[in-house]
Chains A and B, each alone.
Chain A
Amino acid sequence: MIVNSAGRELPEKIGNYIVRPYQGAYATPAPETPVITKRTMGHRVPGDTKLLPDLKAAIQAAGLKDGMTISFHHAFREGDLLIGQVLTAIRELGIQGLRFAPSAVVNIKNPSIADFVLDGTIDRIEASGIRGELGDAALAGKVKNPVILRTHGARPRAIEAGELSIDVTFIAASAADDYGNCTGLVGPNACGSLGYAFVDAHNAGCVVVVTDTLVDYPCCPASISQQYVDYVVKVDQIGDPEKIGKGAARLTKNPRDLMIAERTADLIAASRRFKDEFSFQTGAGAIAIATTKYLADRMREKGVKASFALGGIPAAIIDMYDEGLVRVVECSQSFDAVAARAIFDRPGVVEIDNADYANAYSKGGFLNREDFGVLGALEVDTDFNVNILTGSSGEMMGGLGGGPDVAGGAAISIVTIPIIRGRTPSIVKRVFTLCTPGETVAAVVTEAGIALNPKHKNYAELKEDLEKTSLKLVTIEALQQLCEKLTGVPKPIETTDRVACIVEYRDGTVIDVIREIKR
C-alpha cells in the first residue's frame, strides 16, 4: 500500500496498472518526449471513395481486431444512438475483448453498455464516469479489469502521452460529406460542438465518421476536416438532440437550489475579480445553470461585461451573449438546441477543442485564464475534497466531467451543494471517493452559509472581499456538524480489497480508487 498526498491508501499495482500516486495539483511536470499518436499518413488519389455501405463494412475496413481500443464522443449525452449500433455490429462480427474509451459517461439504454461487457465484447472501460446498469456491474465485480476514470482534461493528456492509444474512433456527426468533412452544427439531429471528438480525430489509428445526413461536397461548416478521416458511413439516426439536456444538464425550480445559486452569484459579484473582461464557467447541473441566470442579473446591475464563458454551454449563456454581457462563448459542448444552433449563426460563439478547454498538459488553455468556475458535487469533506462520482451507498452516480480541471484552473473555484439531500449528508468528514483535491477548491456555497478554504491560494483575497458583504461565512467543520445533527451518523460503507475503478487526476496520477462494495 502507498498513500498519496491527499491521504488516500492505494495499492502499488492494480492488475497491470502501475499506480503513480497523486503528489499535489501542480506537482507533475510535462514529459519532454514528443506527443504520441496513432495517426497514420494516408494516400488517397483522385477518384477514391471513403463512403462505405454500413457500419460492419467500416469496422472491417478499419481493421478492428480483438483487444483493440475504440472511442466515441459524448455530445449527444443520454440521446446517443451511435454507440449501441456500433457495438452491436462489432458483436455480430465476433470481435471480443475491446477497450471502450468514450469521452465521458454514457448512460445509454437499449442496448445497455453492460450487455456488451457481460458478453465479452468489451473487457476494459476508460471514461469520465460510469453509472446506471454499467456502474452497478462494475461495482459488483462484473467488469474484468478496473475501470479507469479520467477528467475531460486528463483524457487528451492520456491520449497524447500514449497511455490511451485509440485504434478506431467512431465520430457521430449530424452532417458530413462523402469525403469526411463533418460537423455537429447542422442537420436534423444537430448536437452543436464536437469539441470532445477533436483529440480522437487527430490521434486515432483510424477515423470513421458516421452521419445520418449526408450533404453535398464540401460540407460547410466543417468541424473535423477530411484530412483526418478514413471512412464515412450513413446510418438512419446518430442521436436524439432532445435528450442532450437530460442527465447532467437540468433546470431547477427547487427553492433551496435557487437560494444556493443566488448566493453563488453574490459571491462572484463581491469578488474584486468581478469587473469588465472577467471570465467564468457555470457548467451543467441544476444549481450551476440557475447560477448563470443570477450572475446575468448582477452583471446588469453593476454594468459589468465578461470576456468569455467556457465549457459546456446552455441557452442561458447564449442569452447573455445576445444581450452583450459576454464577448466570446467558448463551447466545448452544447447543452441544448439553442446553444447548438448558436455556434452556426453567432460569430462570437465558437466551437473549441476540449483539450484547449481542459488539458493541463498542453502549452496552455482557457482554464488557466478563467476567473470563476462553478461546480456541482455529491459530497465535500472538511478538507474541501470533492466527490463527484459515488453516491451515499457507494453506488456510481456521476462522472468526473471537467470538475477537477476547472478547480485546478480557475482563480476562484466554487462548489455549490445543499448540505443534505433527503437524509444523506453532503458535507462529511471524509468523502467516499476523492475526485477534486481540496487544495484547488476556494469556496463551498450551501444553504447554510459559505465556507472558504484557508488552504486555497486566493483565500486571503476572497475572505477580504466577502467580509465586506452580508454573506454568511461559516467554517466547513460547522457545516459538517450541522449535517450530522440533522441526519445522524451514517453507517460506514464496507468495501472489499478489489479495486473496481481507478480515479486519475489531471496529470495521470492516481488520486483515489473505488473499491468493490461488500454486499
Chain B
Amino acid sequence: MELKKPAMAGTTESSDVMITLRPNPEGGIVIDLKSDVKALFGDAIEKTILEVLKEFQVENALVNVVDKGALDFVIRARMQCAVCRAAEIQFDWGKEDAHGK
C-alpha cells in the first residue's frame, strides 16, 4: 500500500502516542522514535510499528513517533489510524470480527 499524503493520529497526552506518517520518496521505512520509556520499551514500540506497517503492506514510510508511555494496544490503534489517513483508505472493521463479514 502506498501512502498518499502526510497524516497524523494520536496526541501528546500522558499515556498516549502521537504518530505522524509521511510518504518516503527515498523508499524504505524510517522510524524516528521519541519516548518517555525508550530505554525500557523502545524495541517493543518499533516492533509494533513495523508489524502494523506490514499488516497494511506499507513498504515506504517516514514514521515519526512521540510516545508518552502508551500501552501497546494504543500504539497499534494510533498506527492503524495514521496508515488509513495517509493512504486515504477506510479501516476494515470486519477483518478482526469473525461474524462481521
Contact = CB atoms under 8 A, between A and B. Distances in A.
B96 to A, nearest CB: 20
B68 interface: yes
Contacts of A13: none
A424 B36 CA distance: 10
A302 to B, nearest CB: 37
Contacts of A493: 39-40
Contact of A488 (B15, B41, B69): B41
Question: Main secondary structure on chain A at its contact with chain B?
Answer: loop
Chain A interface residue bracket vs B: 10 to 19
Given A422-B15, A422-B69, A487 B39 contact: no
Given A486-B71, A488-B44, A424 B39 contact: no
A421 interface: yes
Indicate the member of A392, A423, A486, A487 with the most B CB atoms within 10 Å.
A423
Contacts, number: 42
A493 B68 CA distance: 19
A355 to B, nearest CB: 39
Given A422-B14, A422-B15, A491 B71 contact: no
A422 B40 contact: no
B40 A392 contact: yes
B39 A423 contact: no
A491 B39 contact: yes
Nearest to B15: A422
A481 interface: no
Chain B interface residue bracket vs A: 10 to 19
Nearest to B74: A423
A421 B72 contact: no
Nearest to A420: B71
B71 A393 contact: no
Contacts of A423: 15, 37, 40-41, 69-71
A490 interface: yes
Contacts of A488: 41, 44, 72
Interface in A362-402: 392-394
Given A393-B37, A422-B15, A423-B37, A487 B71 contact: yes
Nearest to B73: A486
Interface string A468-494: 000000000000000000111011010
A305 to B, nearest CB: 40
A487 B43 CA distance: 13
A393 B39 contact: yes
Nearest to B48: A488
Nearest to B69: A422
Contact of A490 (B41, B68, B71): B41
Contacts of B43: 491
Interface of B: 14-15, 36-37, 39-44, 68-72
Closest 9 CB pairs of A and B: A422-B69, A490-B40, A393-B39, A423-B69, A423-B37, A422-B15, A488-B44, A491-B40, A392-B40
Given A393-B37, A422-B69, A491-B43, 11 more contacts: A392-B40, A394-B39, A421-B69, A423-B70, A424-B69, A487-B41, A487-B71, A490-B37, A490-B40, A491-B39, A493-B40
27 contacts: A392-B39, A392-B40, A393-B37, A393-B40, A394-B39, A421-B69, A422-B36, A422-B37, A422-B68, A422-B70, A423-B15, A423-B37, A424-B37, A424-B40, A424-B69, A486-B71, A487-B41, A487-B72, A488-B41, A490-B37, A490-B40, A491-B39, A491-B40, A491-B41, A491-B43, A493-B39, A493-B40
